[in-house]
């Protein structure tokens, strides 16, 4: 990287009093305050890095009609950083239930403003943790596990009573399960499942992560957790062959899942079970941002994207029906009735209680308070 030198005039104590910068590239440098020994960067902080002064030289300056004056010159080294201006990077869950939140970024007025990438929930949180993303829709539990995050207010992926895309499928009533295969792409729902096992069903099965393949998972465990679009596909596919069980679960033949077996399988909706335990909704994912990136303007953009998406649910459902090969009306019902995209007071209470349960079971160290990014306020004119 190129290094430049520049000269600033000082008084007898370098870097204390008045400073005049003599370099055209440094128009954004702020002079030091009294008592300070360094220059301060202003707008050019993304372009330059300052190093310590390299040398001090005394010289005499004189103009016609004036007596010579001694002046001290302070030389600084300036390193120019070749850093292109980049867009903020957003890591996005690739499931259907995220589409309304990002429709303004993918198909609306905010298209092209941010750098978007799509992956599974567990990877979104890793992208944010490792710095590969600046903002991410992360599993709600991960807010408690990653330092220096703030949550964008008033928006989330939540569910009030029944979600249909987070399923526990068991070869026996879940209260009898001894082993549990957990979808490795999940984080929040893994924690919810552990909470339900301990607090609702009073069991302590052996848990292990697995690739989300229902048939293979059921070969290894008594019960399995599946999330996202694969779970929604199962939920919609078994409707006509299922019946309600005495404990609120759904019971249907294994053949309805495409599994060659005469067994019955027991299906539990994770949010319904959470609601039964707590009386509150489940918040599954939140928009999180590193603290130094958080601004009210960012919140405004993400709210605008969500609101744009909510106004385009029929369009989203039509496009998703082609990609997922599912009926558009069923997808629209799912997005309107099963998913809630707000963080209203009831959802926030559910989120707080979720963190308390998780802390009690040792799934997170403590339930730290949520820090919210500020919202952009509009002042009414008189």
Structure tokens of 50?
């300052």
Domain shared by 172 and 247, yes or no = yes
Secondary structure letter of residue 227 according to DSSP:
E
Domain shared by 156 and 298, yes or no = yes
Does residue 369 sit within a domain?
Answer: no
Domain shared by 305 and 346, yes or no = yes
Q: Give dist(CA 323, CA 336) in Å, integer.
A: 19
Q: What is the CATH classification number for the domain harbouring 99? A: 3.40.190.10
Q: Please compute, for residue 122, the number of CA atoms within 13 A of its CA located in the half-sphere on the CB side.
A: 13
Domain shared by 299 and 322, yes or no = yes
Paired strand residues for 137: 287
Domain shared by 299 and 221, yes or no = no
Residue 76's closest CA among 50, 108, 37, 103? 50
Residue 36: per-residue pLDDT: 39
* Relative orientation angle of helices 270-278 and 188-195, to the nearest 10 degrees: 50
Q: Give dist(CA 320, CA 318) in Å, integer.
A: 5
Paired strand residues for 180: 207, 223
Q: What is the mean pLDDT of each successive set of 10 residues along the chain, which is 382 residues long?
A: 38 38 36 40 30 38 48 44 66 94 96 93 92 95 96 97 96 96 93 98 97 93 95 90 86 88 92 98 97 93 97 97 94 98 97 98 95 72 42
Does residue 375 sit within a domain?
Answer: no
Q: Give dist(CA 329, CA 308) in Å, integer.
A: 20
Does residue 376 sit within a domain?
Answer: no
Residue 247: per-residue pLDDT: 84
Among the candidates 25, 60, 80, a domain finishes at 80
The answer to whether the beta carbons of residues 306 and 101 sit under 8 Å apart is yes
Contacts of 304 (CB under 8 A, 6+ apart): 104, 109, 110
Contacts of 224 (CB under 8 A, 6+ apart): 168, 169, 170, 180, 181, 182, 183, 210, 214, 217, 218
Domain shared by 213 and 345, yes or no = no
* Relative orientation angle of helices 99-106 and 313-324, to the nearest 10 degrees: 100
User: At 180, which helix (H) or strand (E)?
Assistant: strand 179-183
Secondary structure letter of residue 38 according to DSSP:
S
Domain shared by 68 and 201, yes or no = no
Does residue 42 sit within a domain?
Answer: yes
Residue 69: per-residue pLDDT: 52
CA distances from 97 to 123, 208, 304, 306 (A): 17, 26, 17, 12
Q: Could you tell me the residue range of the domain that residue 54 belongs to?
A: 3-80
The answer to whether the beta carbons of residues 267 and 250 sit under 8 Å apart is yes
Place of tokens 């599994």: 259
DSSP SS3 for 7: strand
Paired strand residues for 9: 20, 73
The answer to whether the beta carbons of residues 309 and 316 sit under 8 Å apart is yes
Does residue 373 sit within a domain?
Answer: no
Q: Give dist(CA 307, CA 287) in Å, integer.
A: 15
Does residue 380 sit within a domain?
Answer: no
Domain shared by 177 and 152, yes or no = no
The answer to whether the beta carbons of residues 281 and 347 sit under 8 Å apart is yes
Does residue 299 sit within a domain?
Answer: yes
Domain shared by 206 and 288, yes or no = no
User: At 101, which helix (H) or strand (E)?
Assistant: helix 99-106
Domain shared by 172 and 260, yes or no = yes
Domain shared by 170 and 273, yes or no = yes
Residue 59: per-residue pLDDT: 39
Domain shared by 311 and 240, yes or no = no
Q: Give dist(CA 336, CA 163) in Å, integer.
A: 11
Contacts of 244 (CB under 8 A, 6+ apart): 250, 251
The answer to whether the beta carbons of residues 155 and 343 sit under 8 Å apart is yes
Among the candidates 80, 104, 135, a domain finishes at 80
Q: Give dist(CA 271, CA 269) in Å, integer.
A: 6
Structure tokens of 57?
């030289």
Q: Give dist(CA 201, CA 198) in Å, integer.
A: 6
Q: How far is CA 303 from the centre of its chain?
A: 14
Q: Into how many domains does the chain fold?
A: 3
Q: Give dist(CA 215, CA 212) in Å, integer.
A: 9
Q: Give dist(CA 172, CA 44) in Å, integer.
A: 64
Does residue 50 sit within a domain?
Answer: yes
């Amino acid at each position: 990287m190129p290094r430049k030198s520049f000269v600033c005039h000082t008084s007898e104590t370098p870097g204390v009093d008045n400073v005049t910068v003599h370099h055209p590239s440094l128009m954004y440098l702020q002079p030091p305050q009294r008592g300070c020994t360094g220059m301060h960067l202003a707008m050019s902080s993304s372009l330059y890095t300052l190093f310590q002064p390299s040398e001090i030289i005394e010289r005499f300056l004189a103009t016609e009609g004036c007596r010579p004056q001694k002046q001290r010159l302070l030389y600084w080294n300036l390193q120019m950083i070749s850093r292109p201006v980049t867009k903020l990077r957003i890591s996005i869950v690739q499931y259907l239930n995220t589409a309304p939140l990002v429709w303004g970024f993918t198909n609306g007025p905010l298209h092209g403003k941010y750098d978007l990438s799509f992956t599974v929930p567990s990877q979104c949180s890793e992208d944010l943790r490792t710095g590969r993303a600046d903002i991410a829709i992360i599993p709600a539990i991960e807010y408690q596990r990653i330092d220096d995050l703030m949550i964008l207010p008033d928006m989330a992926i939540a569910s009030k009573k029944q979600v249909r895309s987070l399923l526990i499928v068991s070869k026996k009533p879940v209260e009898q399960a001894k082993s549990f295969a957990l979808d490795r792409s999940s984080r929040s729902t893994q924690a919810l499942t552990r909470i339900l096992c301990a607090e609702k069903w009073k069991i302590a099965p052996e848990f292990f992560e697995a690739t989300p393949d229902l048939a293979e998972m059921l070969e290894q465990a008594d019960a399995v957790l599946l999330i996202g679009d694969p779970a929604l596909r199962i939920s919609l596919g078994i409707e006509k062959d299922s019946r309600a069980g005495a404990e609120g679960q759904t019971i249907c033949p294994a053949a309805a899942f495409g599994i060659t077996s005469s067994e019955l399988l027991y299906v539990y909706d994770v949010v319904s079970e959470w609601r039964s335990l707590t009386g509150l909704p489940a918040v599954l994912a939140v928009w999180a941002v590193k603290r130094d990136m958080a601004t009210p303007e960012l919140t405004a953009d993400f709210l605008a994207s969500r609101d744009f998406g909510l106004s385009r649910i029929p369009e989203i459902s039509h496009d998703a029906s082609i990609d997922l090969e599912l009926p558009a009306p069923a997808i629209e019902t799912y997005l309107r009735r099963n998913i809630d995209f707000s963080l209203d007071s009831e959802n926030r209470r559910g989120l707080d209680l979720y963190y308390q349960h998780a802390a009690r079971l040792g799934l997170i160290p403590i339930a730290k308070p949520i820090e919210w990014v500020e919202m952009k306020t509009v002042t009414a004119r008189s």
